[in-house]
Amino acid sequence: MTPVLLLNASYEPLTVITHQRAVSLLLRERVEPATDQILPIRGVASIFHLPTVVRLRRYIQIPRHGITWSKKAVLQRDGYCCIFCGLRPGDRRLGDGQAGERLSRRDFSVDHLLPRSRGGGDTWHNTACACQTCNQHKGNRTPEEAGMTLLWQPDIPRVNRLYAITELPEAWKDYL
């Protein structure tokens, strides 16, 4: 699939759509090109020049809290990166001067910043991805109590499906 970034009429990124859907929206004049970056899409009889960013002609209202919280969604939002130490799947943990096992996605889980046992909720702001070691070290404490620093502030994800894509096309960077 060739992904196309869909913007609201306000130029706010909404989501990523397939090139088939983008072509259909363009043909129905629901969207207009929002970038000069063009991808040639080979059709049956001709080549369609598809912009990698399209903008809705009419503004649509988006419910701000439309993305449902789930553990999987938190891990995707954070790209499986530990909020405390920054390790990701594929990295090796350094311990005692030796390179440890290569981490996989299974080594990461959702940490409640304010622990659930102390009233912390399943919310976007109270949860983040953490590696096993940081999760265990933190235990039933807040990051402050454990002397741990957050590498970023957990927030509501703005664009739902972007996190699945590792390489962002150049033309999207103006909007993300």
Shortest Å distance, C-beta 153 to Zn ion:
17
Q: What does the alpha-carbon distance between residue 100 and residue 112 come to, in Å, rounded to a whole number?
A: 26
Shortest Å distance, C-beta 87 to Zn ion:
5
Binding site for Zn ion (CB under 5 A): 82, 84-85, 131, 134
- Report DSSP state, residue 119: T
- Residue 43 structure tokens: 């059709």
Nearer to Zn ion by Cβ, of 34 and 82: the residue is 82
Nearer to Zn ion by Cβ, of 17 and 130: the residue is 130
Shortest Å distance, C-beta 132 to Zn ion:
8
Q: What are phi and psi of 94, to 5 degrees?
A: -90, 125
What are the helix (H) ranges across the chain?
A: 19-27, 71-77, 132-138, 143-146
CB 53 within 8 A of CB 7: yes
Nearer to Zn ion by Cβ, of 111 and 162: the residue is 111
Residues 6+ apart with CB under 8 A from 86: 151
Shortest Å distance, C-beta 7 to Zn ion:
35
Nearer to Zn ion by Cβ, of 42 and 106: the residue is 106
